[in-house]
Chain A
Amino acid sequence: MKGALEVRAITKRFGALTAVDAVSFTVAPGEIMGFIGPNGAGKTTTMRICSTLELPDSGDVRVDGISVTEHPREARARIGFMPDSYGAYANTTIHEYLDFFARAYGIRGDARRSVLERVIEFTSLGDLREKHIDALSKGMKQRLCLAKTLLHDPAVLILDEPAAGLDPRARVELRELVKALAGMGKSILISSHILTELAEMCTTVTVIERGTVRGSGSVESIARGVSGIQRIYARSIAGAERLERALLELPFVKNAHIEREGVAFDFEGDEAAAASLLATLAGAGLGLCEFAPKTVDLEDVFLSLTEGRLQ
């Protein structure tokens, strides 16, 4: 797929340990995929494989249609990788640092100068361009690394814990930058332990644990995929008790109980069954005034997938 990151059944072993086991997912252009999992789940190894820094024992990754195992140099030209820990050279200013990497990517002459200007402006580093890197704050260093990552205008961005150690303002700014990059049509794979942060910017998530993918897709679809159950909240003018009694007589409804002024219940049916349920309740003369699925957040999904049940 043009501009996409396609991970196809990659496996990586380190001795007896299988760090990544048949992991597959796809990040489409303009999509921001959150890559979440506990420590040691295989996130960084997967990201390093995607960035050509590790070679999978089997499987392949395609970046903009180019195989990272067969054509790593061509793939690197399409990948922007921001590692979780990265170095900054001593005795070097921001401009010199970016100029060095622009040269390393083979950007020459006027093109290099204009790229540097664009990237510095995009990451708001203009006022600091002559400042030595050693003197930068953590947030500014993250911006600088992101700027370095964007120099060669990669189609795919792989960001490993970019928000780690940032203060709230820097996190918000980083989030806006990432959203802007997705708006430019870049495929973005981003890992973080700050799930609320990811929930606000990601269009999809992939959950990984012990090297295997536990779920991939939108948060809602994963939640449904995990349990097959949808949690619904309903409220009627006739009162919570009458509504509860009515619900308990209907198919696919379980665990109905009064919650605040309404009734919360688990529904095991599909969308057609849900539509039928809604029609039945509306026609039962209960005065149904609220009927909505309860919101499942990323934290719920993460905890349910990594512990095996929806919490």
Chain B
Amino acid sequence: MNAPATTGVRLEDRVNPILVKEVRQALRGKYFRVLFWITLLVGTLIGVGIVSAIDEISFVETGRVFFMAIFGVLSAAVHCFVPFSAFLATSAEWDENTYDLLIISNLRPRQIVQGKLLSALIQALLYYSAFGPFLVFAFLLNGIDLGSVGVILAGSVATSVALTFVGIAASSLATNKVMRVVLMALFGAGLIAAWGMSMGLAAGITFEPQVLSSIEGQVAFVAYLTVAVVVALLAQSIALGRFAHEEENRSTPLRVMSTVLVLFASAWGAWLVQQFGDSESIFACHSGAAALLFFPWLISSTEPEELGRRASAVGPKGTLATLLSAPFLPGGGRAATLCFLQALLAVVTSQIALGFTASRALRLDNSVLAVAALYAYLLAYTVLPAGVAAYFVQRRSARVLLRILMVVAIPVGIVIPAMLSMFFGSGPGSALSHPLNPFSTLYDIQFGAPSPFTYAVLGLALLLALLVNAPRVFAGLREVLRARASRVQQAEDAPRA
């Protein structure tokens, strides 16, 4: 009897403390209890309603309609309530002023983030368990096969995990209450959109299950899972950085992850080009990557310039290794360096992915040109304003405002020239086609020919981005070299001391 008890105690000790706390709090809190029973009640009522109307629905359709109705309620729970609960649980660390207590208790950021994620997943598991009998009943009603149910549930779990990570990351970004309310509203809206999207995908598979038999359908499903994993990993990197103490190196994991994302987009694109022979796949993959890279680039390029005492204390010994590691170390200037390098990496690996065939070696493929333009726009909308702001913005509150303005700058950059163009007589159709609108330019590169003026504006933006960032890029590299020299000096002095 003792051995199992000891094993039980040991296992209990191994459980993440944050998980224990979060589960206790969540299961006792009103938020989970009320929503759980309401969801279950709504699911039951809908189920009963459909079964009572079974005569009016065709035999094949009954199972599908029942499944979609029940999945709709389940999806609301696991794609909206659970990620939102993770958002609230993370916010609570700032609202209840417990963040410092966590830091000094020596918990690692990974433990904190994982504990919050696992707690959310336990809640999701309870929802899945509660709705399991309904889903089995839908299968028994006919009309939906087990494979489709499995695929939909796998996609649903991946979406729930990714959204929960995004919730934790979004909440960790705002220690300020007003900012948190804004983020909460945005995240809530995003969750509703995600719910709609997951319902659409589930409906596609439920009513047209043959899509899963085609290679395109299978690739699309794997791509969906891949995007969910990448979003989860990026969000995790952001959250880990935010839960590390302000004085620690918060940047490196996010920078490594964003570099991996660029390489991954090229690799995934290369595989698609090889499979389907369509060079546009590489542009499609990088479009997704660029959309995900926007926030890491925005966050890191607007960081304070200082390397920090703790980040200075560790690093490679050699000069070359120090220089190579510099873009991955904290500081806005070093982030700008990394953004330029990642853009270059995307273009080069895209060209490699398409292969240097005789016909392509002489000129850039349109897709590679589009990839180049895509990253040029990303640089123009993140690194350029961050470089300009670096001369003026010092305070933390100003930095938060700068980040908000940079997000707003994209729709403003698209809409304002279009409005001016309409005001001065152009038709509404052509008004949106201007050099500040990345969508129209990228479309033109793929399917038409952008005007030389567009290329000139884009080139000028890139040149400006390089020029305004150059001082802080060099200053950042010098700081890293000085830190290395200091480390070497200390290592030499240590034996003498």
Give 16 A-B contacts (CB < 8 Å), ordered by A residue.
A15-B394, A54-B247, A55-B247, A73-B106, A81-B100, A86-B98, A87-B96, A88-B98, A89-B96, A90-B92, A96-B24, A100-B20, A103-B13, A103-B17, A104-B18, A112-B13
| B28 adjacent to A91 (CB under 8 Å) | yes
| B338 vs chain A, min Cβ distance (A) | 24
A186 at the A/B interface (Cβ < 8 Å)?
Answer: no
Chain B hits for A53, CB < 8 A: 100, 103-104, 245
Chain B hits for A72, CB < 8 A: 310
Chain B hits for A263, CB < 8 A: none
| A87 vs chain B, min Cβ distance (A) | 4
A52 at the A/B interface (Cβ < 8 Å)?
Answer: yes
Q: Please give me the residue from chain B that is nearest to A51 by CB atom.
A: B104
A69 at the A/B interface (Cβ < 8 Å)?
Answer: yes
Chain B hits for A56, CB < 8 A: 309
Q: Please give me the residue from chain A that is nearest to B28 by CB atom.
A: A91
| B131 vs chain A, min Cβ distance (A) | 25
* CB 8 Å contact bits of B81-116 with A (1 = contact, 0 = none): 000000000001100111011111111000000000
- Rounded to whole angstroms, the CA-CA distance of A56 and B310 in the bound complex is 11
Out of B98, B104, B313, name the residue touching A76 (CB < 8 Å).
B104
* CB 8 Å contact bits of B237-272 with A (1 = contact, 0 = none): 000000001010000000000000000000000000
Chain A hits for B9, CB < 8 A: 109
B29 at the A/B interface (Cβ < 8 Å)?
Answer: yes
Residues facing A in B277-322 (CB within 8 A) are 308-310, 313
What is the predominant secondary structure among interface residues of chain B facing chain A? Answer: helix
- Rounded to whole angstroms, the CA-CA distance of A51 and B245 in the bound complex is 12
Out of A15, A55, A79, A109, name the residue touching B104 (CB < 8 Å).
A79
B21 at the A/B interface (Cβ < 8 Å)?
Answer: yes
* CB 8 Å contact bits of A144-170 with B (1 = contact, 0 = none): 000010000000000000000000000
A70 at the A/B interface (Cβ < 8 Å)?
Answer: yes
Chain B hits for A55, CB < 8 A: 247, 308-310
Chain B hits for A100, CB < 8 A: 17, 20-21
B25 at the A/B interface (Cβ < 8 Å)?
Answer: yes
Q: How large is the interface on B (under 10, 10 to 19, 20 to 34, 35 or more residues)?
A: 20 to 34
Chain B hits for A108, CB < 8 A: 13
| B17 vs chain A, min Cβ distance (A) | 4
| A299 vs chain B, min Cβ distance (A) | 31
Out of A77, A87, A91, A92, name the residue touching B106 (CB < 8 Å).
A77
Question: Chain B residues in contact with chain A, CB under 8 A?
Answer: 9-10, 13, 17-18, 20-21, 24-25, 28-29, 92-93, 96-98, 100-107, 245, 247, 308-310, 313, 394-395
- Rounded to whole angstroms, the CA-CA distance of A85 and B95 in the bound complex is 12
| A110 vs chain B, min Cβ distance (A) | 8
The verdict on A91 contacting B29 (CB below 8 Å), with A53-B104, A69-B310, A86-B101 known, is yes
| B394 adjacent to A90 (CB under 8 Å) | no
| Most chain B CB within a 10 A radius of its CB, from A15, A85, A91, A108 | A91
Out of A77, A79, A86, A103, name the residue touching B100 (CB < 8 Å).
A86
- Rounded to whole angstroms, the CA-CA distance of A54 and B93 in the bound complex is 18
The verdict on A104 contacting B107 (CB below 8 Å), with A85-B97, A87-B98 known, is yes
Chain B hits for A77, CB < 8 A: 106
| A103 adjacent to B97 (CB under 8 Å) | no
A38 at the A/B interface (Cβ < 8 Å)?
Answer: no
- Rounded to whole angstroms, the CA-CA distance of A15 and B9 in the bound complex is 50
Chain B hits for A103, CB < 8 A: 13, 17, 20
- Rounded to whole angstroms, the CA-CA distance of A87 and B96 in the bound complex is 5
Q: Please give me the residue from chain B that is nearest to A106 by CB atom.
A: B106
A83 at the A/B interface (Cβ < 8 Å)?
Answer: yes
- Rounded to whole angstroms, the CA-CA distance of A55 and B249 in the bound complex is 12
- Rounded to whole angstroms, the CA-CA distance of A73 and B23 in the bound complex is 27
- Rounded to whole angstroms, the CA-CA distance of A108 and B15 in the bound complex is 11
The verdict on A91 contacting B25 (CB below 8 Å), with A15-B394, A51-B104, A54-B247 known, is yes
The verdict on A90 contacting B105 (CB below 8 Å), with A15-B395, A55-B310 known, is no
| B445 vs chain A, min Cβ distance (A) | 45
| A109 adjacent to B25 (CB under 8 Å) | no
| B13 adjacent to A69 (CB under 8 Å) | no
Out of A87, A105, A109, name the residue touching B105 (CB < 8 Å).
A105
- Rounded to whole angstroms, the CA-CA distance of A281 and B225 in the bound complex is 96
- Rounded to whole angstroms, the CA-CA distance of A77 and B25 in the bound complex is 26
| A92 adjacent to B104 (CB under 8 Å) | no
| B309 adjacent to A148 (CB under 8 Å) | no
Residues facing B in A75-126 (CB within 8 A) are 76-77, 79, 81, 83, 85-92, 96, 100-101, 103-106, 108-109, 112
| A282 vs chain B, min Cβ distance (A) | 56
